[in-house]
Amino acid sequence: MNDCIFCKILSGDIPSTEVYSNAHVYAFRDINPKADSHILVIPRTHIESAAEINADNSELVARCFEAIAEIVRREGLSKRGFRVISNAGEGAGQTVPHLHFHVLSGSLGAF
């Protein structure tokens, strides 16, 4: 997906601030944070949105959530609590068509 911003982040063509990385998942800080802590968790495979999840790729969703649990432990967010949000479709506010999970903690803005 040549023109996908998040694929370009995965390839290193667009710089990002890494929070967590493994063979399947990458997590980085949102460029425009809407909470004290705003982290984006994405699969390394290009999937457009949650509407495209099926039996063949749903393992990646599990990998993302395993990563989220590890990230909140590392960042000390579990006590404060956090939200996980995935916008699917422009009508729901999705602006980057590569599946991603917002992990938000602390005082929340528009979310």
* Residues known to be catalytic: 100
Buried b (16+ CB within 10 A) or exposed e, 32-45: eeebebbbbbbbee
Q: What counts of helices (H) and strands (E) characterise the chain?
A: 2, 5
Please tell me the count of residues contacting ligand 5GP according to CB under 6 A. 14
Q: Which residue has the tokens 């990646």?
A: 60
5: contact with ligand 5GP by CB under 6 A = yes
45: contact with ligand 5GP by CB under 6 A = no
Judged by CB, which is closer to ligand 5GP: 61, or 96? 96
**For residue 74, what are the contacts with CB-CB under 8 A and spacing of at least 6?**
19, 20
24: contact with Zn ion by CB under 5 A = no
Minimum CB–partner distance for residue 98 and Zn ion (Å): 3
> Among candidates 59, 54, 64, 56, which has minimal Cα distance to 6?
64
51: contact with ligand 5GP by CB under 6 A = no
Residues in contact with Zn ion by CB under 5 A are 1, 4, 6-7, 46, 98
Residues in contact with ligand 5GP by CB under 6 A are 5, 14, 16, 28-32, 40, 87, 93-96
